[in-house]
């Protein structure tokens, strides 16, 4: 029902899992050879009629003893997907498997530096693809939950986390920052206000007023500049 091709290797067909009523399949990439990197194309065979109300969720694991990890899905609207695979000596030591995008995954394998005798345990020949055919609503819900978890991890990793000796926990909010660094926060606020004043004072009308649109323009420019290099605030002085 399914097939996979690892770059530079022959096509391999899926095998139905016993006692699964044809709903679960596996592909073991047993004939491939380790490379610095590789791509795997997975697809539904052309002669297979796949029901519209079902999808095939796709999982990978790097050895029989590991748990399967979700990486995407196949269906009538997406009969194929490409997965990028990093092999030994191409991944960072201890880097966990991660998935990217809709049907595009990346699998990082641990590089056992200094233990070459064990490196064969991490070659691509042990990569196993698991495919589960399930009702569309159930499968799409699982995919959406997987995407939400990845997005949450990405958001958490990019969150501002500060700490100060003598304080318990991390600084995650503006209020916590002001409490921990009151003088620095006051200086920061003064710099921002002064920067706005310096810009907006050039657009005063005869009555000494300035259009709110000018303020919006300043704010947009300020945010862009702050994102590019916040050190410009050190140079802000009164005009």
Residues 203-234: pLDDT tens digits? 888 888 988 998 999 999 898 888 888 888 88
Q: 10 Å Cβ neighbour count for 191?
A: 16
Contact 6, 29 (CB under 8 A): yes
Identify the weakest region by mean pLDDT among 75-79, 88-92, 190-194.
Answer: 88-92
- Of 59, 57, 113, the residue nearest 89 (C-alpha): 113
Three-class DSSP category at 154 = helix
112 DSSP 8-state letter: -
Position 112 scores a pLDDT of 27
pLDDT band at 30 (very low <50, low <70, confident <90, very high): low
Q: What size, in residues, is the chain? A: 239
Position 117 scores a pLDDT of 32
- Of 128, 120, 94, the residue nearest 26 (C-alpha): 128
Position 88 scores a pLDDT of 45
The rounded distance, in Å, linking the Cα atoms of 233 and 216 is 19
Domain boundaries, the chain: 2-157, 174-235
H or E, element range at 176:
helix 174-180
Percent of the chain's residues with pLDDT above 70: 70
Model confidence pLDDT, tens digit, residues 119-141: 344 445 567 899 999 999 999 99
pLDDT above 70: residue 183: yes
Concatenating the DSSP letter of every residue in 55-79 gives EEEEEEESSTTSPPEEEEEEBTTB-
pLDDT band at 152 (very low <50, low <70, confident <90, very high): confident
pLDDT above 80: residue 155: no
């Amino acid at each position: 029902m399914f097939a996979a091709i690892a770059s530079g290797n022959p096509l391999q067909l899926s095998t139905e899992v016993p006692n699964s009523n044809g709903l679960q399949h596996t592909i073991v990439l047993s004939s491939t050879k380790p490379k610095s990197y590789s791509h795997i194309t997975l697809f539904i065979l052309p002669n297979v009629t796949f029901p519209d109300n079902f999808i095939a969720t796709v999982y990978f694991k790097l050895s029989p003893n590991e748990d399967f990890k979700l990486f995407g899905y196949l269906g009538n609207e997406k009969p194929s997907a490409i997965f990028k695979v990093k092999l030994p000596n191409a991944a960072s030591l201890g880097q966990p498997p991660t998935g990217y995008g809709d049907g595009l995954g990346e699998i990082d394998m641990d590089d056992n530096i200094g233990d070459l005798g064990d490196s064969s345990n991490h070659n691509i020949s042990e990569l196993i693809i698991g495919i589960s055919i399930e009702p569309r609503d159930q499968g799409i819900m699982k995919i959406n939950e997987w995407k939400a978890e990845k997005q949450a991890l990405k958001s958490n990793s990019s969150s501002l986390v500060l700490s100060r000796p003598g304080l318990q926990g991390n600084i995650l909010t503006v209020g916590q920052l002001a409490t921990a660094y009151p003088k620095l926060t006051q200086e920061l606020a003064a710099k921002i206000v002064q920067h706005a004043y310096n810009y907006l004072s050039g657009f005063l009308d005869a009555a000494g007023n300035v259009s709110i649109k000018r303020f919006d323009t300043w704010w947009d420019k300020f945010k862009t500049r702050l994102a590019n290099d916040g050190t410009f605030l050190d140079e802000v002085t009164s005009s």
